[in-house]
Chains A and B, each alone.
Chain A
Amino acid sequence: MREGQARADLASNAGARGGDLALQAAAQSEHPAIAAAARAIAAHKDVPGALMPILHAVQHDLGCIPAEAVQPIAEALNLSRAEVHGVITFYPHFRQTPPGRHVVEICRAESCQAMGGERIAAHARKKLGCDFHATSADGAFTLEPVYCLGLCAQSPAMLIDGVPYARLTPKRFDTILGYVKEDA
């Protein structure tokens, strides 16, 4: 972490802080987080309210927003690192550490509860051997809660890697998990 930060600082100090030179240096960085941040900055820097699109782009690229990406983003947008960190940690969708190979998001809101959603949640925890906000021991699945997927007429529902599944039963959950794992 400290080493990564030093590299981030080095990258940005190649030019005036936050300037084009710094961005070019960051783009050349061997550190994937810094390079990804540089790409995201280059693509979105000039849109109004650029921070959220930049953070989404980094997470899309790397699966998470590593600490090393914070510095170049903060400089490019003339923000403090604390401000960028504050935004990353405010939003549940943003992760600071890489997830498992697949992300399983199970809805825990009222409509799914009305149709046995808590039973699915308990089953998933048991099946994956981990709690919510955690990853199964084999690194295959990260389990996350989600509060409504808009599939409420076919509860319970979940997303796996952005693909929706509804009318879940424990058996259907196992079947889906099986072929998601096979596909990988």
Chain B
Amino acid sequence: MSNSATSPAIPAATAAVADGSNVTVYVPRDAAALAVGADEVVRAIQDEAARRGQAVRIIRNGSRGLLWLEPLVEIATPGGRMAYGPVQAEDVGALFDADWLHGGTHALGHGLTEEIPYLKQQERLTFARVGITDPLDLDDYQAHGGLAGLRRALAMTPAQVVEEVQNSGLRGRGGAAFPTGIKWKTVLTTPAEQKYIVCNADEGDSGTFADRMLMEGDPYVLIEGMAIAGVAVDATMGYIYVRSEYPHAIAALEDAIARARAAGWLGNDILGSGKRFDLEVRKGAGAYICGEETSLLESLEGKRGVVRAKPPLPAISGLFGKPTVINNVISLASVPIILARGAAYYRDFGVGRSQGTLPFQLAGNLKHGGLVEKAFGLTLRELLYDFGGGSASGRPLRAVQVGGPLGAYLPESQWDVPLDYEAYVKISAMIGHGGLVAFDDTVDMQWMARYAMEFCAIESCGKCTPCRIGSTRGMETIDRIAARGADHEQQVHLLRDLCDTMLGGSLCALGGMAPYPVLSALNHFPQDFGVSTANADAAHPA
């Protein structure tokens, strides 16, 4: 793998003498960059620089979110940061030949990073620092506006902080879109000796990676957001529940928490305010259902992740029976900028009741997959083509699943609906966590519907019957539909009936929303189920 053992080992300090200048090179440490060879690229840069007697300072930043360009290497030049990507270890020699350390021209060059249209057209609020700073550098964090929100919150009363969040219009970014401020207000006004802040970092939806990128790329913003939540509702302890599939995010958070504690950002006297707040990372164990808030709380308590019936709401009786704020990573990480810049600044982005920005995640069969933070109100078509560049395979796009495995499959006729929470509810879809997975015309929607039921069967916690049994019966029914037997029409009718039971009778969103992908596939792509378009329209008038 690595050729570092055979390369001449010239220490960087000696090499600096030859050139005199110490060029800063950014190579992301984000898992998405590591997965395509970022560590090998770092070794190659070190070796090549040493061989040429050029001094380089390598900073492992977060990812800019232009994921088709990863590993995206940036060189700091007097004119700004220059982007090169996707860089592989074997490209490094040629890049040095092209004098990339001074912004030289090369086929992999993209000019100034900030000028790349994909990035330039975004409105980065929550992700303002991700990819720019060294994720674990406390000074870098503050130099880029970090801690301003917490400082302001500490100078306010808890009720004022809650009001500020309420006025910002921030709604839960995990998927349910419940107003964050109202949740906080309930916790604030519920008297208790101990209250908790819980961060739901069990980002299990396929097509989503915003939480992971944020935790790896700017962990302090999540820490700051949770500390603000603690100050706002009078909670002294917080837990970040991260899925075990995200080892790099866990490591980054643990490191960041230790450094924040040592710097007095966490602990018994946060920023010298006399207030106490501390954090702990807890690791999940591969159960998708633990992204459901009550199941997550059960897991944190050391139990099977079985969903709780609501009420009581977690805000009143949550973790260990105490009032608990439980929010998604992006919700909590959006709080610092709201406090720093004011509620109105944040609220002015977006449309209608969908205020602020959402980090959309472009995934699946797209040429330019990545993270696009934009105000609500743009359309799927803009994301798919203006940002995503169309399909990766070159074939026409056919269906897009929005909002994870429980989200609807949208056909092209719905790609112009503005992305706002209410508009999506109207078309029986949901924005969820903002992930979108694109499929080209080779997709078999009957298979995808079956997969939705299969996934629900695998991940069901087993507490309620519609989800536990309905999902398995759903798979079997779709298999019978696929057999195109004499009872085909009856089986399609049965599937609709089953979906109706699951929608109305499940305890939580897993069973209650698994019918969304199934029904949307059936309604929008009936031909894949052997149902003629005319029949589908009759059964389900739009």
Contact = CB atoms under 8 A, between A and B. Distances in A.
A175 B270 CA distance: 49
A167 B36 contact: yes
Interface stretch (A7-15, A24-32, A146-154): A146-154
Given A94-B285, A152-B209, A153-B370, A114 B364 contact: yes
B50 to A, nearest CB: 24
B125 interface: no
Given A93-B285, A164-B34, A114 B305 contact: no
Contact of B365 (A87, A114, A162, A164): A114
Interface residues on A, range: 35 or more
A112 B437 CA distance: 9
Contact of A166 (B35, B305, B362): B35
A115 interface: yes
A87 B405 CA distance: 25
Nearest to B388: A153
Contacts of A157: 35
Given A153-B67, A153-B68, A50 B302 contact: yes
Contacts of A150: 31-32, 203, 208-209, 211-213, 245-246
Contacts of A83: 303
Contacts of A112: 206
B369 A159 contact: no
A90 B448 contact: no
Contacts of A163: 34
A47 B221 CA distance: 25
Contacts of B246: 150
A52 B364 contact: no
B40 to A, nearest CB: 11
Contact of A111 (B34, B203, B299, B437): B437
Contacts of A159: 245
Nearest to A168: B35
A149 B203 CA distance: 9
Interface string A67-103: 0000000000100000100110011111000000000
Contacts of B365: 114-115
Contacts of B208: 148, 150, 152
Interface in B216-263: 244-248
Given A90-B305, A114-B443, A152 B285 contact: no
Interface string B435-456: 1011110010000100100010
Interface in B276-333: 280, 282-288, 299-306, 320
Interface of A: 47-53, 55-56, 77, 83, 86-87, 90-94, 105, 107, 109-115, 146-155, 157, 159, 162-167, 179, 183
Interface of B: 1, 31-32, 34-36, 67-68, 70, 203-209, 211-213, 244-248, 280, 282-288, 299-306, 320, 361-366, 369-371, 392, 401, 405, 435, 437-440, 443, 448, 451, 455, 458-459
14 contacts: A49-B282, A53-B283, A90-B287, A92-B287, A93-B285, A107-B206, A109-B207, A110-B207, A148-B206, A151-B209, A153-B361, A159-B245, A164-B32, A164-B34
Interchain residue pairs A-B with the least CB separation, the first 8: A153-B369, A51-B302, A109-B206, A152-B363, A91-B285, A93-B286, A114-B364, A166-B35
